[in-house]
Amino acid sequence: MNFLDATAGSTAATDTAVKLYLPSTEAATVLAYLDRLQALETKQPDPAHARAARSDRIEALVLEALENTTLRTAVTDATPCARTSLIIEHLRKYMTRYRIKKPPSRAKVREVLIKHNYI
């Protein structure tokens, strides 16, 4: 089995090893199982890509909220430590407008504010 572990990324080498070391009936079962496993792994989304997409959506949401002139004026006039709270309160108040179920975390809102020089 060590040979199989070492060649887990190589399909041709795994097929050869299974056919070489296992009887034909077991080899067919193992190869079918490995094919199903590989198909499932390819269907799984890349966690890093999903995280980046969520971060981009949160950034777009905060910037969309800051397009509101009243909020933007309040944010620029407020002290830096109160700016995050103002945005979160605004998002909570207008959840249906922004099509969200809950506002983003304080840390994410703060990251966006720092990135776009609001803090």
DSSP 100: -
DSSP 118: -
Distance CA 91, CA 88 (A): 5
| HSE-up of residue 65 (Cα within 13 Å, Cβ side) | 31
Q: Where are the domains of the chain?
A: 2-43, 48-115
| HSE-up of residue 48 (Cα within 13 Å, Cβ side) | 0
pLDDT tens sequence across 35-90: 887 777 767 667 777 788 888 899 999 999 999 999 999 999 999 889 999 999 99
Between helix 106-115 and helix 80-93 the angle, nearest 10°, is: 120
